[in-house]
Amino acid sequence: MSKSHSYPAPDYLQLQGLTKVYGERNAVSDLNLSVARGELVSLLGPSGCGKTTTLHMIAGFHTPDEGDIVLDGCSLRNVPGHRRGAAMVFQNYALFPHMTVHGNVEFGLKMAGVSGAERRRRVGDAVELVRLGGLENRYPRELSGGQQQRVALARALVLKPSLLLLDEPLSNLDPSLRRALRQELVDIHRLTGMTTVLVTHDLEEAFAVSDRIAVLNQGVLDQFDTPRAIYTRPKTRFVADFLGHENVLEGRRISTEGTARVDISGTLVEAPSPRPDLVATELIRYALPARQLHIVAPSNESSIQRHAGRSRFGARVKSLAFMGSAISYSVDWQGLVLQGEQTADALFDGLEVGAAVDVSWATDHLIELPNV
C-alpha cells in the first residue's frame, strides 16, 4: 500500500467526495462516508442507486472520476486492487468449478505465496468458521446454493483482509436460508472484527446485520446512521418511503406547545413533539407502523378518548387475514384505511369483518416524516 498520501485518520475507511460518471449520468455523486475499524456498514438502496459501483471503486475495479478513498490513513488512488488488502464476495459466488472446496479456499493463499503448512491451517480455520467442515473435497456442483455461498465467504475470510466487501451475498438464497446465513454473517463479523461493507437492497437484512446503514438515492447519500436512527428519524422523504411504512397519517399541526396536536381529517390526534431537525411546516406526515396499531373491543364511552400517551378511536374492521402466529388486518378509520398486525391471542372473540372496534396506538410510536 502506498504511504505517499498521509491523512489524519479518525476512521479506518473514508470515502471522500467519491464520484463516478457514466456518459451523462452520475452513478455516484460526491459520496462522503467514514467507516470505523471493525464496523459493519451496509450500502442500502434500490436497484441502480450506485451500490455496486461504490463497492467496485473501493475494491479497485473502477477508478473514481473525482474524490478519493483513504484506508487506514493512506490514499488508495495509486494502489491497484490486488494490493489494497480487500477481499470481495460476489453476488454470483464466482467459484472455480474445477476446484474442490479446499482448492477454492486455498487458491488466494497460494497466489500470495503462503507456505503449505500455514495454508492447510488457515483453510481449515476458514472452513470451520463457515461451518463447511467435512465438505472439503466436494466440487461446487455438488453443493447447495447456501453451501456455495459459504465457500465464497471462506475464500474471502481466509485472506484475513483489511476490508471485507460483500455484494448482495445472500440475495440468491431462499428466505429461511437467508435468515440463517444472515445470522452467521453477524457471528463471523463479531468473531473476526473485520471491517465490512455490505451491499444490499433488502431493508430487513440491512437492519439485522449493520452497525450503520448508508442509504443511497440515485448515487447520492441521503442518510448515514444506525438502523434505529434510520427507522425512527428518517432524514428525507426518500428514506422514509424506502422504509415502506404501512400507514402514513397526514394532517395539519394545531399546536406545538406542550403536547403537539395534529388535525387529521377533522380529528385531533396527539403527536410527539416536533423534531428540531425537520423543517417547520403546518402540514405534517406521521408513519404508524402496522405492529404499533392495536385493535381493542369497542368501548361504550365516547369514541374519542385520551389515555396518557395513547390515542384511541372508533373504527370498523375491513379485512382480517390469518398469518400463522399473527393476524393481519385493516380498519376503516374516518375514511382512512389503516393496516395493523398483532398476535392472534391478543385479539378478542367475535372479531369479524364489518365489526365496530376501537383502534389504539401509543403517541410516541408515531414517526414524524420529513416533507423533503
Ligand X SMILES: Nc1ncnc2c1ncn2[C@@H]1O[C@H](COP(=O)(O)OP(=O)(O)OP(=O)(O)O)[C@@H](O)[C@H]1O
- Helices 145-157, 101-111: axis angle to 10 degrees equals 20
How many degrees, rounded to 5, is the angle at CA 334 between CA 330 and CA 336? 50
Per CB under 6 A, 27 contacts ligand X: yes
- The residues in 166-205 that bind ligand X, with binding defined as CB under 6 A, are 201
Whichever of 52 and 217 has its CB closer to Mg ion, that residue is 52
Per CB under 5 A, 363 contacts Mg ion: no
Among 11, 19, 30, 48, binds ligand X (CB under 6 A): 48
- The distance between the two most distant Cα atoms of the chain, rounded to a whole number of Å, is 80
Among 14, 26, 29, 52, binds Mg ion (CB under 5 A): 52
What is the nearest approach in angstroms of ligand X to the Cβ of residue 258?
A: 45
Whichever of 52 and 148 has its CB closer to Mg ion, that residue is 52
What is the nearest approach in angstroms of ligand X to the Cβ of residue 295?
A: 37
Among 14, 29, 52, 104, binds ligand X (CB under 6 A): 52
Whichever of 18 and 35 has its CB closer to ligand X, that residue is 18
The piece of 40-48, 64-72, 109-117, 253-261 that touches ligand X (CB under 6 A) is 40-48
Answer with the entry of Mg ion, ligand X, none that 22 interacts with (C-beta below 5 to 8 A by kind): ligand X
Q: Return the closest-CA partner of residue 236 out of 372, 101, 361.
A: 372
Question: If you count them, how many residues does the chain have?
Answer: 372
Within 8 A by CB and 6+ apart from 340, the residues are: 290, 291, 293, 294, 295, 328, 329, 330, 331, 359
Among 29, 42, 53, 223, binds ligand X (CB under 6 A): 53
Per CB under 6 A, 348 contacts ligand X: no
Per CB under 6 A, 51 contacts ligand X: yes
Per CB under 6 A, 359 contacts ligand X: no
Whichever of 45 and 140 has its CB closer to ligand X, that residue is 45
CA distance 264 to 128: 57
Q: Return the closest-CA partner of residue 361 out of 305, 312, 314, 308.
A: 312
DSSP 257-322: SSSEEEEETTEEEEEPPPPTTSPP-SEEEEEE-GGG-EEEPPPSS-S-EEETTEEEEEEEEEEEEE
Q: Return the closest-CA partner of residue 156 out of 219, 109, 88, 211.
A: 88
What is the nearest approach in angstroms of ligand X to the Cβ of residue 77?
A: 20
What is the nearest approach in angstroms of ligand X to the Cβ of residue 137?
A: 34
Answer with the entry of ligand X, Mg ion, none that 348 interacts with (C-beta below 5 to 8 A by kind): none
Q: Return the closest-CA partner of residue 90 out of 157, 173, 152, 180.
A: 152
Per CB under 6 A, 22 contacts ligand X: yes
Strand 196-200 with 212-217, pairing: unpaired
What is the nearest approach in angstroms of ligand X to the Cβ of residue 178?
A: 16
Whichever of 201 and 312 has its CB closer to Mg ion, that residue is 201
Among 31, 39, 50, 313, binds ligand X (CB under 6 A): 50
- Helices 175-192, 116-129: axis angle to 10 degrees equals 130
| C-alpha separations of 55 from 32, 130, 198, 279, 314 in Å | 13, 23, 9, 33, 50
Among 10, 47, 141, 174, binds ligand X (CB under 6 A): 47
The piece of 50-58, 251-259, 261-269, 340-348 that touches Mg ion (CB under 5 A) is 50-58
Which residues would be at the binding site for ligand X (CB under 6 A)? 22, 27, 45, 47-53, 201
Which residues would be at the binding site for Mg ion (CB under 5 A)? 52
